[in-house]
Amino acid sequence: MNLIDVYLKTELFVIKDGLTIPISEFIQSSDSAIYVITAWNPGEARFTLEKNRQLNNEIEHLLEQEGYEYTRGIGKDPNSKYFEESIFVQGINQERALEIGRAYQQAAIFEIKKGTQSVLGCLDNSRVSRNL
């Protein structure tokens, strides 16, 4: 099993107004795709919580400069306690989301549409999907 297939099992949650909302519920209020981007632990790197948050803040600042709306959330491994804080972006196109993922040396980003969660490879243009 390759890394992209492992990522497909990730459980995604939006944090809004102090509530943790499963992406399958949150996407119901959106008419467009949501892209999930993070700067956490690129490649084999394992940064401190502070460093990972600093990098995510850089992405948030970039998104604000470009006029995109975003919400914070987390991606969680269903088989462990591992998680990554993530940024859920609405109104961005797929290519720009992938560019940001590549700029922060990420292997993949997520694309969420009603009923579907996809993992898009930043480096190899791979795509795997599952039903939500």
Give the pLDDT band (50/70/90) at residue 50. very high
Which of the pair, 32 or 2, is modelled with greater confidence? 32
Per-residue pLDDT tens over the stretch 81-93: 999 999 999 999 9
**What is the value of pTM for the model shown?**
0.94
How many Cβ atoms are within 10 Å of 86's Cβ, its own excluded?
27
The set of long-range contacts for 54-61, using a CB threshold of 8 Å and a minimum separation of 24, is 55/104, 56/85, 56/86, 56/87, 59/87, 59/100, 59/104, 60/87
Buried b / exposed e along 56-71 (16+ C-beta atoms within 10 A): beebbeebeeeebebb
Query: Which residues are CB-neighbours of 114 under 8 A, at least 6 positions away?
Result: 27, 28, 30
Q: For 88-127, how does the pLDDT look when each residue is reduced to its tens digit (9 = 90+)?
A: 999 999 999 999 999 999 999 999 999 999 999 998 989 9
In the chain, how many domains are there?
Answer: 1
Instruction: State how far the Cα of 93 lies from the Cα of 97, in Å rounded to an integer.
Output: 6
Mean pLDDT, the chain, integer = 94
Give the confidence band of 1 by pLDDT, cuts at 50, 70, 90. Answer: low
What's the domain range around 59? 3-131
